[in-house]
Amino acid sequence: MGQQHLMKRVLVVGGSQDLVGAVYLAGISALRSGAGSVVVAAPEKVCWAINALSPDLITIKLPGRYLGVSHRRTIIRQLKTADILLIGNGATVRPGSAKLMRTLMRWPGQKVVDADALKALTANGVANAILTPNEGEWNILQKNNSVKKLLSHNNVIMRKGTHAILMSRGKIIHMRQANRGLLRAGTGDVLAGLCAGFLADGLSLFHAAKSAAEMSARIADVLTKRKGGYYFLASDIADELKRVSHTKAIRT
């Protein structure tokens, strides 16, 4: 890992009073996979919970129980010092939250767009991003956007599922059959965090997504063997990142 990558900062925007764990899993996974620092901008009570879970995640405590357009100015100010933006985890699809997600997707830097931000995306309004839809989000994405146009805007799409597909403008890869444990809730948040962490470590959009999928699958296989079945949780994958060198990611 080069010295120039050590200080890259990931800004994670998400969370709500109903969904605290998603943004934590995304943030801690980004931090453990290549980010120099991770700042989480979330509703204030979400941030207090994150502070209790980890002293290593910096939090920006936004007033209220949900994200909304009133938080735009504070988040835009944070983006001035961010290298990578990760949005959507636990954000909800409330109208104000969705509008904020659409605004942030117009930021020109490298992004990871996941979960509720994917549901808010319309009119192909994002570029320079890794999009990580599950099956349901993929259907919504196709309904509200043109996949061909999204790929032409320097986006990479990782369609998650039992048979994941990684797409860019010039390349399509069918990933190996997913470990069944990776279909459990929260594992997608970890995967999004891995994408952001690998981007922070200097990988391209395509190779960050590919490496994140491979790292997630590798850890899932280790945990399946250790536990004698698919009994691991998303938090187990995030914890296992402490014992796995992210420099082993595929970079070619």
Pairing state of beta strands 84-87 and 110-113?
Answer: parallel
Q: What is the pLDDT along the chain (252 residues), one digit of tens a residue?
A: 444 445 699 999 999 998 999 999 999 999 999 999 999 999 999 999 999 999 999 999 999 999 999 999 999 999 999 999 999 999 999 999 999 999 999 999 999 999 999 999 999 999 999 999 999 999 999 999 999 999 999 999 999 987 889 999 989 999 877 788 888 889 999 999 999 999 999 999 999 999 999 999 999 989 999 988 888 999 989 989 988 755 444 443
The DSSP line for 47-114 is HHHHHHH-SSSEEEEESSSS--GGGHHHHHHHHTT-SEEEE-TT----HHHHHHHHHHTT--SEEEE-
**pLDDT score recorded for residue 177:** 74
179 closest CA partner among 124, 121, 224: 224
Contact 202, 36 (CB under 8 A): no
Q: Is 25 exposed, middle or buried (0-12, 13-18, 19+ CB in 10 A)?
A: buried
State the pLDDT at residue 251: 43
* pLDDT at residue 6, rounded to an integer: 56
Instruction: Determine the residue type at 69.
Output: V
User: 64 near 44, Cβ under 8 Å?
Assistant: yes
- Please state the CATH superfamily assignment of the domain spanning residues 3-246 in this structure: Ribokinase (3.40.1190.20)
- Which residue in the block uniquely carries the two structure tokens 């936004």? 62
For 120-147, the DSSP string reads H--TT---SEEE---HHHHHHHHHHS-H
pLDDT at residue number 189: 97
Half-sphere exposure of 15 (CA within 13 A, CB side): 31
Q: Check residue 179 and give its pLDDT.
A: 85
